[in-house]
């Protein structure tokens, strides 16, 4: 047994204290290390940089540590049980690391717990010690690890089967609210920190229906209990999956209020986030790339199939909302329109394939700069669109006998349930085995080329008309057509994003082939005058909207400390904003196809 003891040492300095006890250390000198990244978030995070002090003791004597690399230490050879004490700074309010102050403590295992090299498969025991300081309100522990001996507040000892299980359980410690609901006989807890007032009952009711639909798709729920941890903030968004829990961060204002009679777009986004992370319970946490099982989190692990685990999950997260009846068909297509628009507005889709996006995640997707829209495509967003295309194509070519649902169920039975890793391109073989269809050309087009996905033609077979139109305003993300006049509206744009900075307009991104790029404007430029006038960011937007084709604007800007004068000629907005026409199909067969798809039949 490997023992860990976690103390909430100093909230004012954000310090966690960990004591690691090793009964049988390596006689040649025990090596311990922290992971470099956390599963589900593909970026080297170098958690060891947050260790502020570390020492080792054995037989009542201090033992020397030799640092081997940025995240590993070797202790001098000893024959007695070994104890390692270290302190870690936790001040990153995200779902991937650790955060500790006088309001709460949160941690993800890779940020805190050293691994014992050669003993990673040993069972682990974790003791969470109640704080010695007195918080304003009573603190409790929300944790998904198996309890061994804990008090009513959750402080005490927990058990994990091995090191991987130890670091796969995030914890929230503090004064939080907790709700419960049941799915497939399994207790689900929803823990919220950072807010008190919202409609718990509505949220749990909606999540029950969404989770039930996912269990129905896969045929079984492979956990005994499940924990949603939600940290509510003023502005933030994110989620990270774990085997029997998920950690979420979300804006406070978008939680459902009791006075809300409709599902707001913000609350809809929260439900989709919860749905996404819950779907990962199967797809990525158990149906997982073979290389993830073969390699550790000490260095990058490469696969070309992240689109399978994130793209397909992103397709189903919103689809499950409409299948469960939580949102309307129109709501679903508004969300889908935003995804299409997001992909179409980045020329990176014409330069990077889905497989390349998956493989290059470590250096491109998780290290995006101002040129990202021009250089990369999201394996989440385009992956979701390819999953949609794959699902509809299977339904069409099999005359409704098969769908992506059966493919994912087979992926679960063949790989997830058997705890076998998924080899590269395995889903292509599973699709062929399940459906007996030859879809090689579709996979080549969608995964290994930058050719536009033929979504318009495919959706038309399901009674859905997809149109790409010019945006009607700067914040137009697409949606559902409500009148034919909408098709005639457009606006003038410059192909850039900006924000306010002090008294200037700070350019954030410049898009390929847009007016800003043609004029020579670059990301980072600070616009200080437009046609001789000082303007706010909003005034600049309105000024551009009032221009006509051919009009020119003189822009004065600073690039670093150099003043420049450029001539900008706004352009008509590109046809890159997705709208759906949901006129009811007159053909009964088409109507049935649409219903089967959206309701999960066939």
Q: CB neighbours of 79 closer than 8 A, spacing ≥ 6? A: 27
The encoded tokens of residue 359 equal 């493989």
Query: Other CB atoms closer than 10 Å to residue 43's CB: what's the count?
Result: 16
Q: Residue 522's domain is classified under what CATH number?
A: 2.30.42.10
Residue 602 domain-assigned (yes or no) = yes
Residue 267 domain-assigned (yes or no) = no
Closest CA to 201 of 256, 274, 265, 269: 256
- Domain end among 173, 192, 226: 173
Q: Residue 376's domain is classified under what CATH number?
A: 1.10.390.10
Whether 314 and 402 share a structural domain? yes
Q: What pLDDT is stored for residue 195 in this prediction?
A: 83
Whether 187 and 126 share a structural domain? no
What is the spatial distance between Cα 288 and Cα 447, in angstroms, rounded to a whole number? 19
Q: How many angstroms separate the Cα of 477 from the Cα of each of 104, 111, 334, 471, 578?
A: 37, 37, 9, 8, 8
What is the spatial distance between Cα 277 and Cα 335, in angstroms, rounded to a whole number? 17
Taking the mean position of all CA atoms in its chain, how far away is CA 547?
Answer: 39
**Order of strands across the sheet that contains 115-116:** 65-69, 72-75, 31-33, 115-116
Residue 212 domain-assigned (yes or no) = yes
Whether 427 and 505 share a structural domain? no
Whether 93 and 146 share a structural domain? yes
Question: Containing domain of residue 182, as a range?
Answer: 176-256
**Order of strands across the sheet that contains 104-107:** 98-100, 104-107, 171-174, 140-143
The encoded tokens of residue 162 equal 């091995």
What is the spatial distance between Cα 596 and Cα 418, in angstroms, rounded to a whole number? 30
Q: How many angstroms separate the Cα of 328 from the Cα of each of 320, 500, 592, 598?
A: 11, 37, 17, 10
Closest CA to 103 of 153, 175, 172, 171: 175
In three-state secondary structure terms, 69 is: strand
Residue 580 domain-assigned (yes or no) = no
Residue 154 domain-assigned (yes or no) = yes
Q: What pLDDT is stored for residue 351 in this prediction?
A: 98
Q: How many angstroms separate the Cα of 3 from the Cα of each of 71, 151, 335?
A: 20, 19, 47
- Domain end among 173, 203, 222: 173
- Domain end among 173, 203, 220: 173
Q: What pLDDT is stored for residue 561 in this prediction?
A: 95
Evaluate whether 86 touches 158 at the Cβ level (below 8 Å).
Answer: no
What is the spatial distance between Cα 154 and Cα 130, in angstroms, rounded to a whole number? 9
Residue 476 domain-assigned (yes or no) = no
Whether 235 and 288 share a structural domain? no
Q: What pLDDT is stored for residue 136 in this prediction?
A: 82
Whether 296 and 229 share a structural domain? no
Residue 269 domain-assigned (yes or no) = no
Whether 287 and 379 share a structural domain? yes
Q: Residue 8's domain is classified under what CATH number?
A: 2.60.40.3650
The encoded tokens of residue 434 equal 């399940």
What is the spatial distance between Cα 399 and Cα 148, in angstroms, rounded to a whole number? 53
Whether 47 and 125 share a structural domain? yes
Q: Residue 252's domain is classified under what CATH number?
A: 3.30.2010
The encoded tokens of residue 186 equal 């399994």
Instruction: Note the pLDDT tens digit of each residue in 199-247.
Output: 999 999 999 999 999 999 999 999 999 999 999 999 999 999 999 999 9
Q: CB neighbours of 302 closer than 8 A, spacing ≥ 6? A: 291, 359, 362
Length of the chain: 602
Whether 300 and 426 share a structural domain? yes
What is the spatial distance between Cα 142 and Cα 153, in angstroms, rounded to a whole number? 9
Whether 459 and 566 share a structural domain? no
CA triple 547-482-464, angle to 5 deg: 115
- The ranges of the chain with pLDDT < 50 are 485
Q: CB neighbours of 278 closer than 8 A, spacing ≥ 6? A: 210, 211, 214, 226, 246
Q: What pLDDT is stored for residue 484 in this prediction?
A: 58
What is the spatial distance between Cα 158 and Cα 141, in angstroms, rounded to a whole number? 11
Q: How many domains does the chain have?
A: 4
In three-state secondary structure terms, 78 is: coil
Whether 150 and 8 share a structural domain? yes
Whether 451 and 396 share a structural domain? yes
Residue 486 domain-assigned (yes or no) = no
What is the spatial distance between Cα 301 and Cα 585, in angstroms, rounded to a whole number? 47
């Amino acid at each position: 047994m490997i023992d860990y003891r976690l103390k909430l040492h100093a909230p004012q300095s954000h310090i966690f204290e960990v004591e690691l006890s090793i009964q049988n250390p390596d006689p040649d000198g025990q090596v311990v290390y922290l992971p470099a990244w956390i599963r589900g978030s593909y970026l080297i995070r170098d958690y060891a940089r947050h260790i502020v002090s570390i020492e080792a003791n054995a037989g009542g004597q201090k033992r020397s540590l030799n640092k081997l690399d940025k995240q590993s230490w070797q202790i001098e050879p000893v024959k007695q049980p070994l104890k390692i004490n270290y302190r870690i700074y936790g001040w990153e309010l995200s779902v991937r690391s650790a955060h500790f102050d006088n309001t709460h403590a949160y941690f993800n295992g890779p940020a805190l717990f050293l691994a014992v090299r050669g003993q990673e498969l040993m069972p682990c025991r974790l003791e969470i010690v109640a704080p010695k300081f007195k918080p304003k309100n009573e603190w409790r522990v929300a944790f998904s690890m198996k309890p061994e001996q804990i008090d009513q507040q959750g402080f005490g000892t927990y058990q994990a089967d091995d090191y991987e299980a130890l670091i796969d359980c995030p914890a929230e410690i503090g004064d939080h609210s907790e709700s419960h609901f049941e799915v497939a006989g399994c207790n689900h807890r929803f823990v919220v920190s950072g807010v008190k007032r919202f409609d718990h009952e509505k949220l749990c009711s909606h999540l029950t229906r969404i989770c039930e639909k996912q269990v129905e798709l896969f045929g079984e729920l492979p956990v005994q209990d499940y924990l949603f941890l939600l940290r509510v903030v003023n502005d933030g968004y994110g989620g990270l999956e774990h085997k029997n829990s998920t950690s979420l961060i979300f804006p406070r204002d978008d939680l459902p209020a009791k006075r809300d009679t409709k599902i707001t777009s913000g609350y809809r986004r929260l439900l989709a986030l919860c749905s996404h992370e819950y779907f990962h319970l199967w797809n990525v946490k158990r149906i997982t790339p073979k290389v993830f099982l073969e390699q550790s989190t000490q260095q990058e692990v490469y696969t070309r199939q992240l689109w399978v685990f994130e793209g397909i999950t992103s397709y189903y997260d919103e689809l499950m909302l409409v299948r469960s009846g939580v949102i309307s068909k129109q709501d679903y297509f508004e969300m889908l329109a935003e995804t299409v628009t997001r992909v179409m507005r980045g020329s990176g889709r014409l330069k990077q394939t889905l497989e390349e996006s998956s493989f290059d995640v470590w250096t491109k997707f998780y290290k995006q700069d101002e040129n990202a829209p021009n250089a990369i495509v999201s394996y989440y967003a385009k992956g979701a669109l390819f999953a949609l295309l794959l699902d509809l194509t299977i339904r069409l070519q099999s005359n409704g006998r098969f769908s992506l649902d059966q493919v994912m169920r087979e992926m679960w039975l063949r790989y997830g349930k058997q705890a076998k890793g998924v080899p590269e391109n395995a889903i292509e073989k599973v699709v062929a085995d399940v459906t007996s269809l030859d879809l090689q050309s579709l996979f080549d087009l969608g995964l290994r080329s930058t050719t536009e996905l033929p979504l318009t033609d495919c959706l038309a077979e399901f009674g859905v008309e997809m149109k790409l139109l010019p945006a009607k305003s700067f914040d137009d993300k697409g949606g559902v057509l409500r009148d034919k006049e909408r098709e005639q509206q457009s606006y003038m744009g410059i192909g850039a994003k900006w924000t306010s900075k002090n008294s200037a307009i700070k350019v954030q991104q410049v898009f390929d082939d847009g007016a800003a790029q043609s004029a020579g404007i670059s990301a980072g430029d600070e616009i200080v005058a437009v046609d001789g006038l000082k303007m706010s960011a909003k005034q600049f937007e309105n000024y551009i909207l009032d221009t006509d084709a051919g009009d020119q604007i003189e822009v004065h800007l600073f690039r670093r400390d150099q003043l420049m004068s450029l001539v900008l000629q706004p352009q008509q907005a590109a046809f890159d904003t997705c709208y759906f026409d949901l006129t009811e199909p007159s053909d009964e067969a088409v109507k049935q196809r649409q219903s089967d798809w959206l309701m999960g039949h066939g």
